[in-house]
Amino acid sequence: MALLTWNQKYSVGVKALDGQHIKLFEILNNLHAAMMKGQGRSITGPLLHELIGYAHSHFSEEEKIMAAAKYPALTDHKALHAGLVKQVQGFAVRYDLGEIALSHDLFIFLRDWLVTHIQKEDRQYGPWLNQHGVS
């Protein structure tokens, strides 16, 4: 069973960014499925790093679009992104060193952060971007 299932309630009204959010759901679901199947670090490690890399790329693209549209809350939004990246990269370092394992609590944190961030923070920029020619 998927950890997250995409539906329209997650849409921010910007097609390219919705597509990137769908990809984040997919990677997180793949990582969760690998953990639930008990697959080893040779599978879960690369998936964890794919999630981090894609999130970083997505955040960068999202921030670039917001900057081009002169989104007024860009600075605050960037700070939220930086905070998550720092947390998850710290976790990944500890995972790579064998200090910690993937856990259900981590997935709940990632799921809740992603859902809350999309529905609360990202949905705020959707109308602004749409009004400034981004759809």
Tens digits of residue pLDDT in 27-41: 999 989 998 888 878
Could you give the CA distance from residue 85 to residue 130 in angstroms, rounded to a whole number? 27
For 29-90, the DSSP string reads HHHHHHHHTT--HHHHHHHHHHHHHHHHHHHHHHHHHHHHTT-TTHHHHHHHHHHHHHHHHH
With 90 as the cut, is the pLDDT of residue 13 above it? yes
Torsion over CA: 42, 32, 83, 66 (sign): positive
Comparing C-alpha atoms, which of 85, 94, 86, 109 is closest to residue 45? 94
For residue 108, what pLDDT band results from cuts at 50, 70 and 90?
confident
As a CATH number, domain 15-128 is 1.20.120.50
Could you give the CA distance from residue 3 to residue 104 in angstroms, rounded to a whole number? 10
Q: Where are the domains of the chain?
A: 15-128
Tell me if 126 sits within 8 A of 12, measured CB to CB.
yes
> Tokens 């693209």 label which residue?
61
Tell me, what's the pLDDT at 124? 94
Mean pLDDT, range 43-68, rounded to an integer: 93
* Mean pLDDT, the chain, whole residue set: 91
